[in-house]
Chain A
Amino acid sequence: MSETTNPGNVIDMQAFRANQSEPEALPENKSELAEVRRFPVVADHGGRPHVRTIGTQKRGDREITFNPLEQDYTPQSPENIAPEAEELFKAALDIMKARAAVTDILTQEEQTAVSDAAYIELLAEQNAPTTQQRLSSAA
């Protein structure tokens, strides 16, 4: 049995994240969000997809943090991601990077950006309120 098929072999997401070159490291809390490089995020506005970025924007004399999910962007611990999702996601990322290296579709920097954006999207999805939560907050 190979190492990857060992059910006790849990992927070390801290190490995975640490491998992401600076300054792409994910924010640990909201206050660090402004320091994060701007990642493209596709947000759906009434059926019309918009490519926007995570980061801060000036609105008059106020500086606001763009929030693609219209709620506080506070990534939860990666440990909260379902292990099977983490496993498939990491395998796919490895393969995509290897593909990109062969086809030379993306530069190394672009590969990193794609990986980070995809990972952030996965984390952000965790924070999306469920329908029940939306209904509760609307009530």
Chain B
Amino acid sequence: MPNLFAKTLHLFTGGPISSKKRPLKKYSERDLLRMESAIGRDLFGPIPAGHQREFFCLDARTWIWYERWLDPQTRKQQEQTTRYEVHSNGIIKIQEGQPYIVLEGQELENLKTAVQIYHERVMRDIYHRNHLTGEPFPVTQ
């Protein structure tokens, strides 16, 4: 899925996504994904020193975990993108060069918990909506 990775990369590197001008819009999709990822990156525990982590919902069927770090042995940047795809029969974990894995056991539980917290916090802190109803919080004076 080269398009998916290209889109993901563009979202974080600032590459051109759309030339469509949005003068009246406060945030772009990229802005929102960055804000969401700022919440998502902390959900899986402490990030090791020298690591950059992103975790965010790309679309209705895809969750992305991106990790980049400096290899102390080779002094080269390493990166890994893990894609969790939602299929009707379960969650498929996809990593480059690895066989597809149907997520189960503790890893599945961890992902579910992370998504629940992500959903709750992103809806509340970024979109100011109730994560159970999707409705905006009433404006308080």
Chain A residues with CB under 8 Å of chain B are: 2-5, 80-82, 84-85, 87-89, 91-99, 101-105, 114-115, 118, 122-123, 125-126
Contacts and interface: CB of A to CB of B under 8 A. Distances in A.
B98 to A, nearest CB: 20
Interface of B: 22, 24-29, 32, 36, 57, 59-63, 84, 86-91, 103, 108, 111-113, 115-120, 122-123, 126-127, 129, 131-132, 134
Contacts, number: 106
B101 to A, nearest CB: 14
5 contacts: A92-B59, A99-B32, A102-B32, A122-B61, A122-B88
A102 B131 contact: no
**Mostly helix, strand, loop or mixed at chain A's interface?**
helix
Most-contacted residue by chain A among B103, B108, B134 (CB, 10 A): B134
A92 B84 CA distance: 12
A94 B57 CA distance: 11
Given A4-B131, A87-B112, A95 B24 contact: no
Given A92-B60, A98-B126, A104-B25, 15 more contacts: A81-B88, A82-B87, A88-B86, A88-B91, A88-B111, A88-B112, A91-B119, A95-B57, A95-B119, A102-B27, A103-B22, A103-B32, A105-B29, A118-B60, A123-B88
B137 to A, nearest CB: 12
A70 B57 CA distance: 31
B132 A98 contact: no
A125 B88 contact: yes
5 closest Cβ contacts across the A-B interface?
Answer: A98-B127, A91-B119, A126-B88, A118-B60, A4-B116
A102 B120 contact: no
